[in-house]
Structure 1
Amino acid sequence: MKALFKPLALTLVMGLAACQQATPLFDSELANQQPTPRHSNAPVAMAPKPQAETIITLHLAQENAEPSLIAVDTGGTALYALPQPVLTQADMLRVTPVTAPDQHTFILLEMNQNGVAKLRSITQQAQGHYLLLSVQGQLATVTQIGETISDGRLLIGTQNAQHSQAILKLMQGR
């Protein structure tokens, strides 16, 4: 795992340095919608933020410590993450809360064209590693990469509907 992570880390850090420009998270038609009521599966609109402010980040992490990685306590298990995010809201088109028929809850991050390519590359090269979703600098949830995601739709589990809504409120700055 260590041998894969270093080349991947260098590739991602170098490749992402040129891709950190901020763009609105949602389509313009979604930007005028009202916040979604609890338990809804509709996309949530957020007001555009200043370019320098990064609200949503996804960091790549692994279980093994290395000097160039930052230790992150994920509630009992320490993971070690790249200091720079591998995906940000600039790579995302929309964010949607999802409740499955079995009542498990998720946040669906749908990537824009640039984000689709990044997500595919990351998930292809880093299977078994983790993506840490942070909102306004707060760790929101962790997901393990199990397969290559080619369609640009990253489904991240949450604890429950209230957890999903809390994450979305943080994204909206509330």
Structure 2
Amino acid sequence: MTARTTRTRTTRTLAAGLSLAAALVISGCSSSDSDAGSGSAGDAAAAPKLAVSGAFMPEPVNDKMAGAFMVIKNDSETADKLTGVTSPLSDDLQIHETKDQKMQQVPSMDVPANGELKLERGGNHVMFMGLKSTPKVGDKVTVELRFEKAGPVKVELDVKERTYTAQHSNAH
């Protein structure tokens, strides 16, 4: 009976510790007053402020795969990484980069401080593998972007015509 009591206390202590850690992380994301003033590199940086624009998915040809494209803008001094994507439409979403006209899956992509990550046709993108249904033009597909430092970001992809290409306002 003593071993069981010890296990129960250990489990409760661990659960309480995890709850406290989660609360600190959540409250730290919205707090900015503690970050003001000290500029040393050793201090914990504020969570990046990310915004997503132009999110769309071309209408898939079939239920095998589909791409997603968008611009993730980081208006903060802290760089971040896109580390994963989830969606009710598929259990297998992948982050792909395109180099030398070849597509390959990567574990993450950088979202530079005061910069942006462009996910666009012919370049880096999100790939849905094995769709649970085939969305049509006009539908919306929900995805959740996961980042190394910022909290998860829910995005609605507009399903567009297969030939649609987003026009970004800031040409390089």
TM-score with structure 2 length normalisation? 0.29
Q: Which has a greater percent of strand?
A: 2
Which of the two has higher C-alpha Rg? 2
